[in-house]
Structure 1
Amino acid sequence: MIYWSLWGIASLALLFLLIAIIWSIRRHRDVSLRVDCGEGIEQFLPSLAGLTLGTSVPGNSVELLENGRYFDVLLGRIRAAEHSVHFETFLWKDCTVGRALAAALAERARTGCQVRVLLDANGAAEIGPATVRQMRAAGCKVAFFHDGALRNIGLLNERDHRKLVVIDGREAFVGGHCIVDTWLGNAQDRRFNADVSVRVRGPIVNTLQGVFSENWIGETTELFGGDGYFPRLPRTGDACIHAAYLKPEGSAPAVKILHHVAICLARARIRIQNPYFIPQPAAIDALGEAVNRGVDVRVLMPSTSGSDNPMVQHAGHRNFEKLLRCGVRLFEYPHTLLHQKVMTIDGVWSAVGSSNFDDRSFETNDELTLGILDRDLAGRLDAIFDRYVARADEVDLHAWHRRGAWHKLKDNTFYLFHELL
C-alpha cells in the first residue's frame, strides 16, 4: 500500500515537472508595453514596424472586403490564378462555401498551378475527409498545422489562427473570414456573421508570401522560391503597410506589441472592433491613459446573446467596470456575431487581421495582423464601426455595477480560464 502511494506521488510530481517544462519552453516573457513618445502614429510608423520585427513597406493598394462579398472576390481571383495559390486558415467546416473553395483549388491544381493548403488541425477538424481527398487527388498539397502526432505534444494548445491567401505572389487576402457558411450573407440576422478582410497588392505581398512560408516549411520542410513566388512588385498605391506575425523566443509576440504600442500613440481617437475583447491589465491602463490624454476610446463587441462563445464575453465582462471607470466607452451588439478584428487610430492608421484582443491571440496562437497607414481605409473602417454601433447597446457604469450576482459569478468564473478560451 505504501509502495503504491509513493509511486502515485512520484508520478504526480513527474507530471507537474513535465507540465512546467512544456510551459517554460512555450512561454513569452511580458515586457513593459509603454512608449514615451511625443510623436503621433504617422511619424512613429518606422519605429512601430521595427518594434514588431517588421519593416514598413510603402506603395501598396488596399481593397476592403466586407461580409459575404469576400468570397465572391476570393473565388474569382483563385480561379484566375496562373502560377500558385497559397491558402492558410484556421476554421474550415464541411459546408457550401468550403466545397466551392475546394473545387476552385482543385481545378487550379489540375491545370498545373501550384496549390498549397495549410489548415490548423484543430480548427479544420470538421472539413470532411472527402474534401481533403478531392484536393489531394487533383494535385493540391494539403498539410495540417500541429496535428495530434507525438512530436507536437508540447504544441497542441498552439493554433494557427491566421487567415491568409497569396495568389501568384502578386496579391494577398488577410483578415478574419473563416470557411463556414455563417460568413456568407451580409450580417443581416443571426445566421450570418459580420467580418472584414482586405485584398492587398504591391511590394508588401513579398512579405506575406514569407509569412505563409514560415508555417508551411515548419510542417512540410518544403522550400519554394523564384520569381513565380517572389516577383519584383511595382507600386500599386499609396498605402504604407507592415505585417506583425512573429513570436520570438522568450519575448512578447509582434501582434501584442503592435496593438499595445498603437494605443500609446493615439492622440485623438481609438476605435476597436473585436469579437473577443479581454484586455490584459497593461492594456486597460494604456487605454485609461489614452483617455486622460483626451483620446476618445470606444470598443464594439458582440453581447453574450450575439456571440458564438458566450463564455468569452463573460470573461471579458470581468474588467468592464475598470474600463468604464477609466473613461472607455463600451458597446455590445446583440444581433449577430461581429467577428471583425479591427483597430483604428486617429482616423489614419488601421490594424486588420486575425488577432483577437485576448491572451490566446496575443500569447499563444500564430496570428497575422497588418498595420496600414491609409486615411481612406481608416475612414471606411470607422464608418463600419458607426454603422454597427448605432444598433448596439452602450454599457452604463452605474447599471453595470448593479448587475446581478449570478452574472458577476459567471464573469469571474470564466475569467479564470481566459488564457484558454
Structure 2
Amino acid sequence: MAVTVRWRRRILWLLTGALAAGLAGIVLLNVWPHEKQLEHRLQHVSAVESAQFRREMGTLLGTGVSAGNAVADYQNGEEIFPAMLAAIHGARHSVNLETYIYWSGEVSKKFVAALTERARAGVRVHVLADWLGSTRMKQEVVDALRAGGVRFEYFHPLHWYSLDRINNRTHRKLLVVDGKVAFNGGVGIADAWEGNGLQPDHWRDMQFRVEGPAAAQMQAIFSQNWLATTGEALLGPDYYPEVPRGGDLSVQAFASSPDGGSENMQLMYLMAINGARRRIDLEAAYFVPDELTLTALRDAMRRGVRVRLVVPGPYVDSAMVRNASQASWGAMLQAGARMYRYQPALFHNKLMVIDGYLTIGGSANFDNRSFRLNDESNIAIYDHAFAAHMTEVIDSDIARSRELTLAQWRQRPWRRRVFDWLSSRVADQL
C-alpha cells in the first residue's frame, strides 16, 4: 500500500512538472521575439523635409508614399462615429472593419445596424475583431452580425494549437469602404469613446479619414490579417478598384506585425525623431519607450530640438502602464522636454508632428507592445499645412493639461517610486 502511494505521488509530481514546463514554454513562445529587433542607434538620418527621407521611408516600410490623397481628422466620438457610420451607409461594394475593441453597447448597436443593412443590400462586409480586446462583446452581437450577412471573425481566438500566439493581438482600428475611403486611428467600437473628450468617463481620441491611393494600402493591410485568419484572399474590383485622386496630400500607410515587419513601427518613429531638426510634438496614450527610443529623444534635444510631450493625467485604464511610464519621465524632463498631463478625460491619442511637416498617427502606442508584440497600422502625412493644423490640435490639448516639472516628478512619494520602478521592469510586455 505504501509503495502504491509513493508511486502515485511521483506520478503526480511528474505530471505537475510537465504542466509547469509546458506553461513556461508557452510563456517563452509568447514573449520571445519572432524576428531580430532594432538594437543600435540610427546613423545619418536625413531631415524629415528632405526628398531623401521620403525615399527611404517609401522603401524601408514596404509601402511607398502615394500622392493624390485627402485626409481629414476627427476629434472624439461625437465627430468620429458619425463620420464612420456615414461612410458605411454610403458603401456600394465592400466594407472591411478591423478593430481591437468591439464592446456591446449603444455604439455597437449603431454599427451592427449599419453593417447588416449594407450586407443585406449586397455589399460584401467583413469584420475582424481581436478576441482578447473584444471580450466585452456579447455573443448576441456576433449572432446579429452573422445573421445579417456580415462575415465576422475573431483574430487569434483561444485554441490549444494557438497558445503561442496569445500575446500577439491586432491593435489596429481600420475601416475601409469600397477600397477608396479608409479610417485609421485609436478609437474602438464602444460607448467609452462617445462625447467630446472632456468627461472623465469618456476617452479623448482621434481618427483620420483618408480618401485616395493610400486607402488601397490600408485595404491591403486589412486583407493580410483576413487572409491569416480565414485563409481567404479578398480580390477583385470590389476591394481594389481603380482609385482616383482624392486630394493633394502625400500619404503613406504602413503596418507592423510580429509575423513580419515587426520593426516597422519603431523604425518609423526612430527615423522621424532622428530626422527632426527643430521640434517634436508627441501625444502618447502609453509612453513607455525602450532605451533605444528614449536615447533617440534625448539625442534630439541635445541637438537643440524642442520636444513637447502630452500624456494621460488623472484618468488611466492601466495603473501598471502609468507607473512604468512615470519611471521614464525623469530622463525626458532632465533632457529638457516639456511634459503635459491631460486633465479632463482618459487620454488615448497617438500622434506625432515633426518640424511642422511630418504627421504620424494611427493605432500604435509609444511602447514595446506596439513596437514588437501587436499588429498595428499607422499613416504618415507629408505636408506643412496639415502638420500646422495638427499642431493646433496638440496646442488645444496642452491648454487642457497641467505641465509637469522635474521638481514635481522628483517629489512623488517613495511608494510611488517603488511601484514605478517595479512596473518598469516588465515594460517589455506593456
TM-score range (shorter-chain normalised) is over 0.9
8 Å CA contact 2:258, 2:372 repeated in 1: no
Matches within 5 A, 1:173-322: 173-247=183-257, 252-303=262-313, 305-322=314-331
Q: Say whether the 8 Å CA contact 2:132–2:169 is kept in structure 1.
A: yes
**Structure 1 position 239, deviation (Å):** 1.2
Maintained 8 Å contact 2:273/2:297: yes
1:266/1:345 contact within 8 Å kept: yes
1:158-200 deviation per Cα after TM superposition (whole angstroms, max 9, x unaligned): 1110000110111001111111112111112212211111110
Q: Encode CA deviations 1:11-56: one digit per residue, 9 max, x unaligned.
A: 6456545544554463542332413134334421120232222211
Q: What is the distance in 2 between the residues matched to 1:87 and 1:185?
A: 22
Deviation at 1:374, TM superposition (A): 2.0
Please state how far the C-alpha of 1:354 moved relative to its aligned partner: 0.2
1:81–1:113 Cα contact (<8 Å) kept: yes
Note if contact 1:42-1:373 (Cα within 8 Å) is conserved in structure 2: no
Q: TM-score with structure 2 length normalisation?
A: 0.92
Change (3 A) 1:391 1:403: same
What code does the residue aligned with 1:81 have? A
Structure 1 position 83 matched with structure 2 position 83? no
Query: Is the 1:53–1:246 contact (alpha carbons within 8 Å) kept by the matching residues of 2?
Result: no
The question of 1:34 aligning with 2:42 is answered yes
Identify the residue that residue 145 of structure 2 maps to in structure 1: 135
Give the SS at the match of 2:339.
Answer: strand
Aligned pairs for 1:70-149 within 5 A: 70-149=80-159
Code of the residue aligned with 2:398 in structure 1: it is V
Deviation at 1:326, TM superposition (A): 1.4
Residue 338 in 1 paired to residue 341 in 2?
no
Note if contact 2:31-2:167 (Cα within 8 Å) is conserved in structure 1.
no
For 2:3, the equivalent position in structure 1 comes to none
Shift of 1:392: 1.4
Structure 1 residue 228: Cα displacement: 1.9
Structure 2: give runs of 5+ residues left out of the alignment. 1-5
**CA pair 6-286 structure 1, distance change in 2 beyond 3 A:** same
> Could you tell which deviates more after superposition, 359-368 or 383-392?
383-392
Q: In structure 1, the residue corresponding to 2:164 is in which secondary structure?
A: coil
Q: Find the counterpart in structure 1 of residue 410 from structure 2.
A: 401
The CA deviation at 1:237 is 1.5
Q: Is contact 1:245–1:255 with CA below 8 Å preserved after alignment?
A: yes
Deviation at 1:74, TM superposition (A): 0.9
Mapped to 1, the partners of 2:170 and 2:148 lie a distance apart of 25
Distance 1:302 1:248 in 2: 27
Which deviates further from its counterpart, 22-31 or 129-138? 22-31
Question: Partners of 1:52 and 1:279 in 2: how far apart?
Answer: 20
The amino acid that maps onto 1:166 is: V
Paired letter, 1:317: Q
User: Residue 153 of structure 2: SS of its match in structure 1?
Assistant: strand
Aligned length: 420
Cα–Cα, structure 1 residues 9 and 93, in superposed 2: closer, same or farther, change >3 Å? closer
Q: Which residue identity is paired with 1:158? A: N
Given the two structures, how large is their TM-score scaled by the length of structure 1? 0.94
**What's the counterpart of residue 357 of structure 1?**
366
Residue type at the aligned position of 1:417: V
Shift of 1:299: 0.6
Asked if the contact 1:341–1:353 (Cα under 8 Å) also holds between the matched residues in 2, the reply is yes
CA contact (8 A) 1:28 1:363 kept: no
Give the partner amino acid of 2:337: V
Q: Distance in 2 between matches of 1:130 and 1:6?
A: 43
Partner of 2:58: 49
- Tell me if the contact between 1:41 and 1:262 (Cα under 8 Å) persists in the aligned partners: no
Secondary structure at the aligned position of 1:104 is classed as helix
Match of 1:351, SS? strand
Give, in angstroms, the shift of residue 356 of structure 1: 0.5
Summarize deviations over 1:205-256 as a string: whole Å, max 9, x none: 1111110100001111112211221111122212111122133658642111
| CA distance in 2 between partners of 1:152 and 1:318 (Å) | 34
Tell me which amino acid in the other structure corresponds to 1:414: S
Aligned partners of 2:257 and 2:374 also within 8 Å: no
In structure 2, C-alpha distance between the alignment counterparts of 1:399 and 1:151, rounded to whole Å: 49
SS in 2 for 1:73: helix
**Mean CA deviation greater in 13-22 or 209-218:** 13-22
Structure-2 residue corresponding to 1:369:
378
Q: Does 1:384 align with 2:400?
A: no
Distance 2:321 2:312 in 1: 10
Answer yes or no: is the 8 Å Cα contact 2:69–2:214 preserved in 1: yes
The two structures, once aligned, show a CA RMSD in angstroms of: 2.0
Equivalents in 2 of 1:259, 1:241: separation in Å? 16
Q: Is residue 47 of structure 2 the alignment partner of residue 58 of structure 1? A: no
In the superposition, relative to structure 1, how do residues 5 and 49 fare at CA in structure 2: closer, same or farther (>3 Å)?
A: same
Q: CA-to-partner distance for each residue in 1:362-403, whole Å, 9 max, x for gaps?
A: 110000011111222211211111111123121211231222
Change (3 A) 1:38 1:242: closer
